[in-house]
Amino acid sequence: SGRTYGTEISMQWRASDRWSFVASHTWLHLDLRADEAPEQESPQHQFQLRSYFDVTPALQLNVAGYYVDAIESPQDNARARIGSHTRVDVGLNWRVHESLDLGIWGQNLLEGSHAEFGSFKTPHLAEIPRSFSLRARWRY
């Protein structure tokens, strides 16, 4: 049992017809009563800043930066401290046709990987690796 409360603030700014920004901050406070209180398993602060830039009417560049506060996480029947991390993602989308978009994305570009959470089932922390992906979206 216990209480949780917090806030989330988001702002959008359209710098021009072709460029916009979105910024947000989330604050979470948990006050729970339990033998293994999970309050440290959720980050208290999270920030993000995203930029959307229309290079041409058919080509859009997306850049996003994220900050996540440190947490404590279960790890093999114990608790492990997982430090805060900063992540940057970049994507390029091309509207080939009104029904077809193609994209290339890179995620977690600042680091090869970072820990995000643990588990009671394994002594290993889950590492989120740098990744790249291709995307095709067909709308009908």
pLDDT grade for 39, boundaries at 50, 70 and 90: low
pLDDT at position 114 is 84
102, 135 Cβ separation under 8 angstroms: yes
17: burial class by Cβ within 10 Å (0-12, 13-18, 19+)?
exposed
Contact residues for 7 (Cβ-Cβ < 8 A; gap 6+):
25, 26, 27
pLDDT grade for 116, boundaries at 50, 70 and 90: confident
Mean pLDDT is lowest, of 41-45, 79-83, 122-126, for: 122-126
Residue 93 corresponds to which tokens in the numbers above?
């989308």
Q: Residue 69: which of 49, 89, 44 has the closest Cα? A: 44
Q: Residue 73: which of 36, 28, 41 has the closest Cα? A: 41
pTM for the model:
0.81
Distance, CA of 24 to CA of 48 (rounded, Å): 5
Residue range 121-136: mean pLDDT, rounded:
84
